[in-house]
Chain A
């Protein structure tokens, strides 16, 4: 289409020819750097993960290395309870985390989309944790949840709860504690994406709805939500993939503990490859994780009819 537009211009003074002289090669030249980087550092590693998943590969036990066929996969599905445990925890983590982030993010976006005094500052403040890293989030919440340094100590002074409660080392509290820590950083991200899309809702629609006497709830339900649908579907998916894959926070916050209670599948894979040097098995786990992720994403996009009906 772009080329057609270039060709359709009125008869050319000579210099214009220079402009459109190279369009055939130009786009390839322009995407070449990106394409090369992605081939070398994403595509090639992905392929080598697939390759290693069929191998026994452990630098500390070289005598056992070599082609293994599907042994790794058989072991994953039949003899590795840890795989199922970590997979189930991953699912629970992603669903709870993304669900709550969406809910709070949507609410927050709707609030800061209003005009009110101090809106700029308010936005900057409530969005600021988005810029904070997983590791730093861990540092902060370790301080807050710790029995000696945390809130529980000061609450105990006020007569709420007992001294010496450390929410991160108790199996009954570690999950909610980790969820809260990650929400702190994750909600702003959602809010920013949803707010970005909220800004493009035409004001006319609301005015028309008002004239027709639609309540605010009805306006939200019939105007705002449908408009946001694609943004919500896409940001939920991206966030779910990131939450699934991200190991920074849990690795540093709980280290997967206590007693493996918060080990996600990627964390298990990282431990298998980095600590246990069992690269072949870790690659097989990675392959399984990749397939699961891709499958869930496709199903999700189908079910939500992404970008389907409107526009």
Chain B
């Protein structure tokens, strides 16, 4: 009951729909009224550039080895069977899902806590902490491989997925936290205060009032973290030595650098690597854009 009342007072979406109906004739063409061909022509050219590479890899994964046809016909799934079983992509897939989901969860939770503190409190080390967040963006993760390797060796975490999950999380955190604190700042503090008056404590007020409004932002941040962890290559390559612990990008690299490259298998492996993230992405791209525009750059 409380919830309804409060969300009812939530701020209206910032973009007010333009008044419907035709514009006055006298007005010049607005951006809204760009001639159609000026949209569709460049878009088609760009779409071609985007899709041909996808088509190429799909072609190689579906047509029989040795075929040079530009249409994958007859379709064969032998390459997929091969990478999935012989080349252990089944195992890589599971590992990649584990790394991706664990990174998503950890990044979102830790960044949510930190982002809330940055958005809602003034405290002594806040400025220093913000500065550290920004500076960390200049620290090249790839160049810290050696000390990171030593740290994980000391923690006896080499060859465990935990090392990769921690490393991916840490390098996702700064940006995620900046984004999330931006989102939280966009939720009026008075909403939370109103919930306190109605008997919530700080945590339940946050959960009932703020969290639902953060959903698009959290989806953006979480998916960003997932996609990064799914795709990133060096940490897994360096920290995981057992083949049974490897992730998909490392598997792909192994296929690529093999002495005689099996193109069909390589392409099939590529499709396996692409499909989950492209699907995730297709669903979240709308939130990603609103998410970034809500809190992002201005924080």
Q: Find residues 91-116 in chain A having any chain B CB closer than 8 Å to their own CB.
A: 104, 107-108, 111-116
Q: Find residues 119-172 in chain A having any chain B CB closer than 8 Å to their own CB.
A: 120, 122-136, 138-144, 149, 153-154
A276, CB-defined interface residue at 8 Å: no
Per-residue A-contact encoding for B251-286, CB less than 8 Å = 1, 0 else: 011011000000100110110011001101110011
Per-residue B-contact encoding for A188-211, CB less than 8 Å = 1, 0 else: 000011011101100100110011
Dominant SS among interface residues on chain A? helix
CB-defined contacts of B98 to chain A, threshold 8 Å: none
Output the least CB separation between A40 and chain B (Å): 7
Pair B140/A135 contact, Cβ less than 8 Å: no
Q: Which of B15, B43, B249 contacts A126 (CB 8 A)?
A: B43
Segment of B2-10, B73-81, B87-95, B228-236 engaged in the interface with chain A: B228-236
Please report the total number of B residues contacting A with Cβ < 8 Å. Answer: 111
Pair B263/A252 contact, Cβ less than 8 Å: no
Pair B197/A16 contact, Cβ less than 8 Å: yes
CB-defined contacts of A138 to chain B, threshold 8 Å: 256
Pair B231/A127 contact, Cβ less than 8 Å: no
Pair B169/A46 contact, Cβ less than 8 Å: no
CB-defined contacts of B199 to chain A, threshold 8 Å: 15
CB-defined contacts of A114 to chain B, threshold 8 Å: 31-32, 34, 39
B71, CB-defined interface residue at 8 Å: no
Pair B57/A196 contact, Cβ less than 8 Å: no
Chain A interface residue number, banded: 35 or more
Pair B238/A42 contact, Cβ less than 8 Å: no
CA distance A33 to B167 in the complex (A): 14
Closest chain A residue to B123, Cβ basis = A27
Output the least CB separation between B146 and chain A (Å): 5
> Knowing A48-B147, A238-B137 touch, does A37 contact B173 (C-beta < 8 A)?
yes
Output the least CB separation between A23 and chain B (Å): 7
CA distance A162 to B136 in the complex (A): 48
Output the least CB separation between B93 and chain A (Å): 14
CA distance A38 to B170 in the complex (A): 6
CA distance A124 to B283 in the complex (A): 8
CA distance A210 to B116 in the complex (A): 42
CA distance A133 to B135 in the complex (A): 25
Per-residue B-contact encoding for A280-304, CB less than 8 Å = 1, 0 else: 0011001001100110010000000
Per-residue B-contact encoding for A50-94, CB less than 8 Å = 1, 0 else: 001000000000000000000000000000000000000000000
CB-defined contacts of B47 to chain A, threshold 8 Å: 122, 125-126
Q: Which of B120, B129, B278 contacts A132 (CB 8 A)?
A: B278
Pair B28/A38 contact, Cβ less than 8 Å: no
CB-defined contacts of A206 to chain B, threshold 8 Å: 30-31
Output the least CB separation between B267 and chain A (Å): 7
CA distance A132 to B292 in the complex (A): 19
Output the least CB separation between A139 and chain B (Å): 5
B202, CB-defined interface residue at 8 Å: yes
CB-defined contacts of A40 to chain B, threshold 8 Å: 151
Across chains A and B, which 5 residue pairs bring their CB atoms closest together, nearest first? A133-B231, A196-B292, A45-B147, A196-B293, A30-B117
Q: Can you report 10 A-B residue pairs in the complex whose CB atoms are below 8 A from each other?
A: A28-B125, A34-B114, A41-B167, A49-B146, A125-B47, A136-B252, A139-B252, A140-B56, A141-B53, A213-B28
Residues on A close to B: CB < 8 A? 1-3, 5-6, 9, 15-16, 18-20, 23, 26-28, 30-31, 33-35, 37-38, 40-46, 48-49, 52, 104, 107-108, 111-116, 120, 122-136, 138-144, 149, 153-154, 184, 192-193, 195-197, 199-200, 203, 206-207, 210-211, 213-216, 219, 230-231, 234-235, 238, 241, 244-248, 251-252, 266, 269-270, 273-274, 279, 282-283, 286, 289-290, 293-294, 297
